[in-house]
Amino acid sequence: MKDNSLYKLGGICSVLVGISYIIIGITVLLESPQLTVENNAQSPFLFFESNRVVLLTQWSAMAWGAVFALAVIPAVSEKVRNLNEGWVRWTGTLATLGFAVTILDNYWAIVMTPARAAAYVTSSEAMRAAFAVPGEVQFIDIQGWLGYGAVGLWVLVINLLALRGAIFPKPLAYLGIATALAYFLVLTTMVFPNVRGMILVVAAIGGILLAPIWYIWIGLILHRNNTQ
């Protein structure tokens, strides 16, 4: 009897990843109007204090979404593994690393930022100046090469192979390719902040709209595989 537990777990988790992206998209839209407030622009800690619930929700969704994605990678990769095992295994490992780092970075933000923000708000001007001096490394994936670049590469390879081998419906494969490009655009805005603007808008559309649809659709396909 064939064991479809890989597809069952991967399908459920993929739908949860899609839901996490929807939550992230909503929180991004809620926090965006606050980005121009003067006090928030002066300090990320002031920005956090005025958007505490939104940011903690966003970081939690990113962390849990990445946890669920660790079950999605092997399930989705198995669907196309026979088409090019080398590329699937390599990019799958990179994507796993990317999501693992996303978990660690957002866990750090959830645990440490509230305490640091509270200390900043109640400190003197001299202490606030000390906070602004670069100190210990706070995040691992500062520019997003792993969380966006590596994950985007895996999504791109999976969907190109699926398109070539007719593994997924063509609209889903094309949607996945567009989602991969959105990942790369987010990476571009993080590596080159001066090119933001329209690129960031396109990337946001990818994260808020394309990625959730792709993950949920993939999840439904994996679930159907499990029941067959």
Q: H/E/C letters for each residue in 78-100?
A: HHHHHHCHHHHHHHHHHHHHHHH
pLDDT: which is higher, 228 or 22: 22
- pLDDT tens digit sequence for 90-116: 999 999 999 999 999 999 999 988 988
Contact 146, 98 (CB under 8 A): yes
What predicted TM-score, i.e. pTM, was given to this entire model? 0.89
pLDDT at 226: 65
What whole-number distance in Å separates Cα of residue 14 and Cα of residue 217? 8
Helix axes 85-122, 52-80, angle to 10 degrees: 170
